[in-house]
Amino acid sequence: MSQLETLINTSDENLLTLLSSLCQGAIAIDQECRIVWLSQQYRELMELPDNTEFIGQLVNDILPTTQLPRILKTGQPSFLDLMQINNQWCAVTRLPLKNPDGSVFGAIGFVFYDNLENLQPLFDKFARLKKQLVSENLLRISKYELDDLVGNSPALLKIKRQALRAAQLDTTILLLGETGTGKELLAQGIHNASPRRDAPFVGINMAALPESLVEAELFGTAAGAYTGANKNGRLGKIQLATGGTLFLDEIADISAAIQAKLLRVIQEREIEALGSNRLEKVDVRIIAATSRNLKQLVDKGLFRADLYYRLNVLPLQLPALRDRIPDIPAISSYLMEKIARESGLPALSLSKDALIWLQQYHWPGNVRELHNRLERACVMAEQELISTEDLGAEDLISTNETIAFTDLNQAKNHAEAESLQQALTQSQHNKTKAAKLLGISRATLYNRIKRLNM
Ligand SMILES: Nc1ncnc2c1ncn2[C@@H]1O[C@H](COP(=O)(O)OP(=O)(O)OP(=O)(O)O)[C@@H](O)[C@H]1O
């Protein structure tokens, strides 16, 4: 029995009744993030079914948006947070439960929504600011942790280990990898595993910004800087990320002028707002990402070599999905659960053929494409088992898209991986049988599996 359960079980019933009567909902979790106590009012507020037993369940499974695990991790209380639960503004207080030596053994959360008239101006201001941030596309909540990168393939475990180490340092990180391999997810995970986790994570897609706006977006504008600019000036994304992390996505797609300015930010840690002649010190950790071959762009003179070396301090290469085929079943079920949860559609499963197909396809769009195909399949499927047809496999075969390779080595590796996978599936992962099917020795089979990162 955990320390918290002991405390709750041996406490006077009146203590829990008193706690419940002080607020309109209370919940306690133990060190493992499992619910140990949930007041009746909280169940009603969250509209949780009456007949379900919540005690012992992981709090995230029941309340996906809960912040209590964060309190457990940081040991820091959050005295006043505002959140909307079932269209009702609530004030939330979350406290860590600590031993005399300071170690955390649980967390407790209280929700208040009655008699909050005095807080109304605060709610209004919060709602206004949040709306403004969202409309200006500045609010990118870094909701992902490194653990949210699903997969146990050696390639993915390696990148997670590297990312965890990189998170502890304050150096610039360059995330490389094909489109849809999870670069943004990894950037958020690094931010949340770093000492900067409580400061903002501000992302900017450099390719999506018109050239004329890049400078104002990044560096902000001084008061009265130019006609059309906000007369009070506007903060740039670099200032908004102060103390936290600035994520520069699609870094290869910036003009020579912006490359020069960015170089100064990284070298001098200083910026100059548009229309200002004052230099401002900045404190941000930069994570840049690109799906292009940056080194090749440098060699062709399209990207500044000095900026490349400044960005390339700690490069992390995300593996393509086709190079971590063993992860496909786990990622697929994770994505299918997510799709069912978000869409309210019933949870479906993959047929055997569909799963084989998923492990054989070459995934040019990586995890994003996998998500899209599964989403489409969940909508299209007419039975409980998703078929290859639901995944759009037939369209590909008819359009010959599956052989859209540009690189011969890549094509060779892909064909090899496909045969190996087929043999392994057919032999139910019996390596001796698989090697026999392929006409190679067991040792060669092991070597190929290793080389192809399967
Ligand atoms: N290992 C993973 N586990 C779970 N979901 C993942 C994983 N990798 C990627 N995803 C999901 O795939 C989608 C694409 O990921 P993300 O946007 O991070 O890719 P990206 O490499 O930044 O793409 P782009 O280069 O096109 O910007 C997201 O929905 C993300 O949550």
CATH number at residue 297: 3.40.50.300
180 lines ligand 1 (CB under 6 A): yes
Q: Which residues pair with 58 in a beta bridge?
A: 34
Contacts of 233 (CB under 8 A, 6+ apart): 220, 221, 222, 223, 224, 225, 273, 276
| Residue bearing tokens 């070298």 | 267
Q: Which of 317, 340, 361 is the last residue of a domain?
A: 317
Pocket test for ligand 1, best of 142, 149, 174, 184 (most atoms within 8 A of CB): 184
Q: Which two tokens stand for residue 307?
A: 């900026």
Question: Would you say residue 153 has pLDDT above 60?
Answer: yes
What is the structure's pLDDT at 64? Answer: 67
Query: Exposed (0-12), middle (13-18) or buried (19+): which is 290, by Cβ within 10 Å?
Result: buried
- 407 belongs to a structural domain: yes
Contacts of 337 (CB under 8 A, 6+ apart): 347
* pLDDT confidence tier of residue 410, bands split at 50, 70 and 90: low
Pocket test for ligand 1, best of 159, 160, 185, 373 (most atoms within 8 A of CB): 185
Question: Would you say residue 78 has pLDDT above 50?
Answer: yes
332 lines ligand 1 (CB under 6 A): no
Q: How many domains does the chain fold into? A: 3
- 140 belongs to a structural domain: no
Q: Which of helix, strand or coil describes residue 409?
A: helix
Atom of ligand 1 nearest to the CA of 327: 1
Q: Which residues pair with 96 in a beta bridge?
A: 107
From the list 268, 267, 259, 266, the residue with the least C-alpha distance to 303 is 259
What is the structure's pLDDT at 399? Answer: 40
CA 232, 137, 179, 150 dihedral sign is positive
Pocket test for ligand 1, best of 318, 336, 367 (most atoms within 8 A of CB): 367
Return the CA Rg of the chain. 26
Q: How many residues does the chain have?
A: 454
What is the structure's pLDDT at 136? Answer: 58
Tens of pLDDT along 288-344?
A: 999 999 999 999 999 999 999 999 999 999 999 999 999 999 999 999 999 888 877
Q: Which domain holds residue 112?
A: 3-135
- Strands 26-30 and 35-38, bridge-based pairing: antiparallel
Residue 222's CB is within 10 A of a number of other CB atoms, namely 18
- 141 belongs to a structural domain: no
What is the structure's pLDDT at 400? Answer: 42
Rounded Cα distance between 436 and 445, Å, is 10
Could you tell me if 88 and 46 are in contact, meaning their C-beta atoms sit under 8 angstroms apart? Answer: no
Rounded Cα distance between 428 and 72, Å, is 42
Rounded Cα distance between 137 and 202, Å, is 10
Q: Which two tokens stand for residue 228?
A: 């059309």
From the list 155, 158, 168, the residue with the least C-alpha distance to 194 is 168
- What's the whole-model pTM score? 0.61
Same domain (yes/no): 17, 158: no
> Mean per-residue pLDDT for 169-174?
93
Same domain (yes/no): 107, 73: yes
Q: Which of 84, 100, 135 is the last residue of a domain?
A: 135
Same domain (yes/no): 110, 175: no
Q: Which of helix, strand or coil describes residue 36?
A: strand
- 167 belongs to a structural domain: yes
Q: What are the CA-CA distances from residue 380 to residues 345, 366, 390, 399, 419 (Å)?
A: 11, 21, 6, 20, 29
Q: Whose CA is nearest to atom 18 of ligand 1?
A: 182
338 lines ligand 1 (CB under 6 A): no
Rounded Cα distance between 265 and 91, Å, is 39
Same domain (yes/no): 88, 232: no
Same domain (yes/no): 220, 154: yes
Cite the beta strand spans of 99-207 per DSSP E: 104-112, 173-176, 201-205
Rounded to 5°, the CA angle 24-30-34 comes to 80
- Between these two residues, 250 and 13, which has the higher pLDDT value? 250
Please name the helix (run of DSSP H) or strand (run of DSSP E) that holds residue 422, with its range, or none: helix 408-426
Same domain (yes/no): 310, 326: no
Q: Whose CA is nearest to atom 16 of ligand 1?
A: 182
- Between these two residues, 258 and 116, which has the higher pLDDT value? 258
Q: Which two tokens stand for residue 325?
A: 């085929």
Tens of pLDDT along 115-132?
A: 677 777 777 777 777 666
What is the structure's pLDDT at 403? Answer: 41
Q: Which of helix, strand or coil describes residue 209?
A: coil
What is the structure's pLDDT at 174? Answer: 97
Distance 183 CA to ligand 1 centre (A): 6
What is the structure's pLDDT at 181? Answer: 95
